[in-house]
Structure 1
Amino acid sequence: MPYSLSEIVMLFFTYSVIGWIWETIYCSLKDHHYDYRGFLFGPYCPVYGFAVTTILIFTDKFKNHLILLFISGLIVATIFEYLASLFLEKVFHMKLWDYSDLWGNLQGRVAPMISLFWGFGVVLLDKFIQPHIQDFLNWEEARTHGAFAVIVAVIMATDFVFTIISVERFNVTTKEWNDRINAFFKKRGHELSSHELIFKHLDEVKPKHKLSWNHKRLLNSFPQLKSTNNKQFNDIKQDLVKRINQK
């Protein structure tokens, strides 16, 4: 193992924060409004932390060979991204990204263009970014002897538990929306749903469980987010987000 346990924790945390900063800035500029990115409550994106840490561990033996580093980084990152997408869908019933419109994609989870980006990214990461991050980790380890890594682990684990609770409530609320929309159109004999009609009778359709701040943040910050079990909610999601932004 090229890294100690405390280094792995700090690598995960550091790249999660860097990933959050990058995504928040990029998506905020792209969407023309502030996007608080990240699946968890805190300012970090664990998918970046997991991905980069996994890549660094599994490509360490190739770091002095650019071509092997590129290929191994591409493969490891693609496998990780596929498994992460599958995990989110099966465990949390959510899809946070979808590459279905890209050539050669596999179930919308991974695509050749994205994998190539990962390959080049791993080379740049290993050669230009990680050396500076490692200097920081060495500095932190010498002063706290792993204590800060323990604090980070406790904070992020607690955040993860609260996120699971929030996502479970999100699934309950979206299912209520889904069921009430279906009941609404069944009552009126409409076979095709109409967003205009739904929002005209919003008080009748809206469930008793309200979307929390975190639920609204997820919908607002992840335009491609889908609740895999609730088609009717997914259909009105974009209009619902617009109403949230107008408030």
Structure 2
Amino acid sequence: MPFTFSEIIVLFFTYSVIGWMWETIYCSIKDHHYDYRGFLFGPYCPVYGFAVTTILIFTYHIQDNLFLLYVVGIIVATIFEYCASVFLQYVFHMKLWDYSHLWGNVQGRVAPVISLFWGVGVVFLVKIIQPFIQKIINWEEARTHGYLALIILLGMGTDFVLTIISVEKFHISTKRWDERLNTQIKLDENRLNQRFDKLLESLSWNQKRFLTSFPQLKFTDIDQFNAIKHKRMIRRKNKS
């Protein structure tokens, strides 16, 4: 094993934060408003941490071969993205991204052009960023003796539990709203929008963040909510 357990935890956290920063900046520019990305409350995206840490471990002996590094980066990142999409859909009934409009996509979860981009990103991370990150981690390990890793585990573990509770409440709220709406499907559009606005007002900060930061968010078992949210997104884009 090229890294100690505590180093793996700190690497995972570091690249989760870097992934969050990259995605937040990119999506905020693309959507023309601030997007607080990430599934958890904190400023980190674990899927990036898992993917990059796995790549660093499995490519440790081939990092001088750029082609192999690029190929492994594509494979590992694509697998993690696909698994994350399946996990969110079947555990939380959520879809946070959709590549259905891209050529060669698989169930809208992954697509070749995105995977090729991940490959480039992995090479850049391993060859440019990782040497600098490793120096910092070596310095940190010599002084904290693994205690930082323990703090990270406790902090992110707590965050994960709180996020599950928040998302489940979000799902229950929108599902109840959807059920009530289905019994009054003939309501005019103004009244529908008023009810939608009331729903939004009742949501927590984290639940509202999901709506604003993930434009493609869908609950797979709540059709009316998805439809009205989609119409309002289109209307907001047309106004801007």
Return the TM-score normalized by structure 2.
0.91
Shift of 1:28: 1.8
Unaligned runs of 5+ in 2: none
Shift of 1:195: 4.1
CA distance in 1, matches of 2:161, 2:7: 23
Q: How does 1:15-94 map to 2 (within 5 A)?
A: 15-94=15-94
User: What does residue 12 of structure 2 align with?
Assistant: 12
Shift of 1:38: 1.3
Contact 2:47 2:80 survives alignment (8 Å): no
CA distance in 2, matches of 1:115, 1:198: 39
User: What does residue 161 of structure 1 align with?
Assistant: 161
When the two chains are superposed, the root-mean-square deviation of aligned CA atoms in Å is 2.3
Asked if 1:109 corresponds to 2:103, the answer is no
1:213 pairs with one of 189, 195, 205: 205
Aligned residue type for 1:167: V
Asked if 1:199 corresponds to 2:193, the answer is yes
Shift of 1:196: 3.8
Aligned residue type for 1:210: S
- Name which structure has the greater RCO, CA cutoff 8 Å, separation 6+: 2
Shift of 1:133: 0.7
Q: Secondary structure at the match of 2:34?
A: coil
Contact 1:180 1:206 survives alignment (8 Å): no
Shift of 1:238: 4.1
User: What does residue 2 of structure 1 align with?
Assistant: 2
Aligned residue type for 1:215: Q
Return the TM-score normalized by structure 1.
0.88
Asked if 1:226 corresponds to 2:218, the answer is yes
Shift of 1:59: 2.0
Shift of 1:63: 0.9
Q: 1:165 to 1:242 in 2, by over 3 A?
A: farther
Q: 1:99 to 1:111 in 2, by over 3 A?
A: same
CA distance in 2, matches of 1:11, 1:91: 27
Shift of 1:118: 1.2
CA distance in 2, matches of 1:16, 1:102: 26
Shift of 1:29: 2.0
Unaligned runs of 5+ in 1: none
Count of residue pairs the alignment pairs up? 236
CA distance in 2, matches of 1:225, 1:72: 29
CA distance in 2, matches of 1:236, 1:72: 41
Contact 1:15 1:48 survives alignment (8 Å): yes
Deviates more, 1:99-108 or 1:55-64: 55-64
Deviates more, 1:63-72 or 1:158-167: 63-72
Aligned residue type for 1:144: T
Contact 1:17 1:45 survives alignment (8 Å): yes
Contact 2:200 2:208 survives alignment (8 Å): no
Aligned residue type for 2:51: A
CA distance in 1, matches of 2:201, 2:148: 39
CA distance in 1, matches of 2:204, 2:190: 24
